[in-house]
Amino acid sequence: MGLGLDQPWRIKSLELEGAENNSKGILHIHIDYEKGSKFLYEGESYSVYDHQERIWQHLNFFDHKCYLHAKVPRVKTKDGKVKLVSVPWAQKGSSFSLRFEQDVLDLIKGGMTATAVGKRYQIGGKRVFRIVRRYVSYALATQDLEQVKELSVDETSTRKGHNYLTVMTDRERKKVVGLAAGKDKEAFAHSLIDMEVRGADREKVRTMTMDMSRSYISASEEMMPQAAVVFDRFHLAKKINEAVDKIRRQDQREYSELKKSRYLWLRNNENLNSEQREHLQYLQDSFKNIGTAYQLKEQFRAVMNDAHSNKRLKPLNDWIKIAWDSGLKPMMDFVNMLHRHWYGIKSYFKKLATNAFAERVNLKIQEIKRLARGYGNITNFMIMIYFHLGGLDLKPTKFD
């Protein structure tokens, strides 16, 4: 019952090796079948031709390692070829039992690395990763995607420096649906292909949220002209923060009181305590340029928040006039950027779609990378992203 054996399979014998004096040993479970049994191969029933001896590592029995042993029947098919039959407790070609593999997947899902799982079972981390890769690859090849209507694209770093992945996520179903190395137009195209080979149709995508990457904008317009491009409001918030910080640094060269104040200007006002607010108000009243920039930043955030209730562009147009009239060059540059990308900003007010989930995915991807202390092989990194964030069903059912 523990192994889930059915006829004609049965346990022939048990042997606990090297467990004297309470030391850790090895449990050997020998499996056999009833004489005269026939076995199925590709839907046909055959008598046994000969055997192949096989061993599988199974879940530990308390502190003892455990191995399954069996003489697996081979049959001669109608075309005269000799084939090994499938056994119910393991995948074809695997040296581990299904339940062992299930535990490996569960441990990694819970946050352990392949190396840590390998130490637990006294096997190499590479062997553990091969289990993960096999299940992820099979799931990607056999589990169709639902139609993706709300798509996001973002980039994430694979290692320190200039190595990137393009990541596409389904905002409705909260999962990664496409991955490719790089962050250019070609990477965008390969991510779309990743999505389409699993059954989703790019022409069904209604909105595409992204930052203002020229490569992604160009690729989206060329490859998915029917999808409304929506520029992420959080990316806009990052850009206006950069404008505020430029003004702070300019003023700081002249006014030493502004040193070590960066945190105050970039945090949202409601996230500051009373003492910080009081100090910020003093700086705002004392230094006109940075004070004006901060006020514009907070007004812009209020306009974007208000879009959720009224969806009107007039407040944003009014803000643009005020920001331009400030005469602050970084703010005027920000206004020019808004004009250049107006179509995608206007779409935000209609669709209210953001890249928020894609940003959360990015954080989780960085955590996956941190736990493994990086991935030298980008394919392995992509496998782990799909494992944790692809919404795949990875229960070890037979797939040979």
Model pLDDT for residues 213-257, shown as the tens digit of each residue: 899 999 999 999 999 999 988 889 999 999 999 999 999 998 888
> Whole-model pTM?
0.84
Mean pLDDT, the chain, rounded, equals: 91
Look up residue 113 and give its two tokens.
């690395």
* pLDDT category of residue 399 using cuts at 50, 70 and 90: low
Q: Write down the pLDDT at residue 400.
A: 57
Q: Write down the pLDDT at residue 2.
A: 80
Nearest Cα to 301, choosing from 316, 288, 312? Answer: 316
**Interval 62-93: pLDDT, tens:** 888 999 999 999 999 999 999 999 999 999 88
Q: Write down the pLDDT at residue 109.
A: 93
Other C-beta atoms closer than 10 Å to the C-beta of 67 total 17
Q: Which residues contact 68 (CB under 8 A, 6 or more apart)?
A: 3, 29, 31, 55, 56, 57, 58, 89, 90, 97
Nearest Cα to 339, choosing from 224, 231, 259, 250? Answer: 231
What is the residue whose two structure tokens read 């799931």?
139
* pLDDT category of residue 27 using cuts at 50, 70 and 90: very high
Q: Are 75 and 47 in contact (CB under 8 A)?
A: yes
In what helix (H) or strand (E) does residue 40 lie, and over which residues does it extend?
Answer: strand 39-41
Q: Write down the pLDDT at residue 239.
A: 93
Q: What is the largest CA-CA distance in the chain?
A: 96
What is the residue whose two structure tokens read 């770093």?
157
Look up residue 175 and give its two tokens.
């999962």
